Amino acid sequence: MSGEESVPLAAQLRARGMRLTSQRQRVLAAVAALEHGTPEEIHAWLRAEAGADGAAPDTSTVYRNLEVLERLGLVWHTHLGKGAPVYHAAQHPHLHVVCQSCGQIISADPGLLDSAAERLAADLGFTVDVGHVALSGTCRACAEKTRTEHR
């Protein structure tokens, strides 16, 4: 755990002249609960959690808080293809493997790309940001289903 990760969220925000609002806490909780949620999914989760009589933040508030939380290094966003980016907690770095058939998102160890990242650095001077990596392909279940259908 890095030094900043061990500092409570409230202290991290205060150090940057910001407050730990209930909205920021709730957005961060939604990101953690959904694991890979778009801003719209995060907003829907917050509405559902608030219930009929609770007040949920509007969509623009969700976007603003996601931006703040990302600047603080607490969440990352990744583009998984078409559509809005998904947000996930930054304390668990991973790359994303997305099935083009069923849409399943699988979190994978970023170490799987070590040799490719080393090669990109050596050949192109390019540094890979694995927190934003999304690889498209076909998951095991869809590949097996396709093989079975073609028999």
Residues forming CATH 3.30.1490.190 domain(s) in the chain: 93-151
CA atoms within 13 A on the CB side of 109: 4
- Residue closest to 73 by CA, chosen among 17, 129, 126, 12: 12
Which H or E run contains 41? helix 39-50
For 33, the 3-state DSSP assignment is helix
Half-sphere exposure of 125 (CA within 13 A, CB side): 0
Residue 106, H or E segment: strand 105-108
d(CA 101, CA 104): 8
- Quick one: which of 83, 127, 122, 123 has its CA closest to 105? 83
1-91 has which fold?
Arc Repressor Mutant, subunit A (1.10.10)
pLDDT at 3: 43
pLDDT at residue 18 in the model? 80
The pLDDT assigned to 7 comes to 58
pLDDT of 97 reads 92
* Residue 16, burial from CB neighbour count under 10 angstroms (0-12, 13-18, 19+): exposed
Topology of domain 93-151 in CATH is Dna Ligase; domain 1 (3.30.1490)
- Which pLDDT score is estimated for 9? 67
Residue 148's pLDDT is 87
Cβ neighbour number for residue 90 with a 10 Å cutoff: 16
Cα(58)–Cα(44) distance, integer angstroms: 10
| Intervals of CATH 1.10.10.10 along the chain | 1-91
Q: What is the pLDDT along the chain (151 residues), one digit of tens a residue?
A: 344 444 566 677 778 788 888 888 899 889 989 989 999 999 999 999 887 667 888 999 999 999 999 988 888 898 887 788 999 888 778 889 999 999 888 889 989 999 999 999 999 999 988 777 889 999 999 999 988 887 7
Helix axes 22-34, 39-50, angle to 10 degrees: 110
Q: Note the pLDDT of residue 52.
A: 66
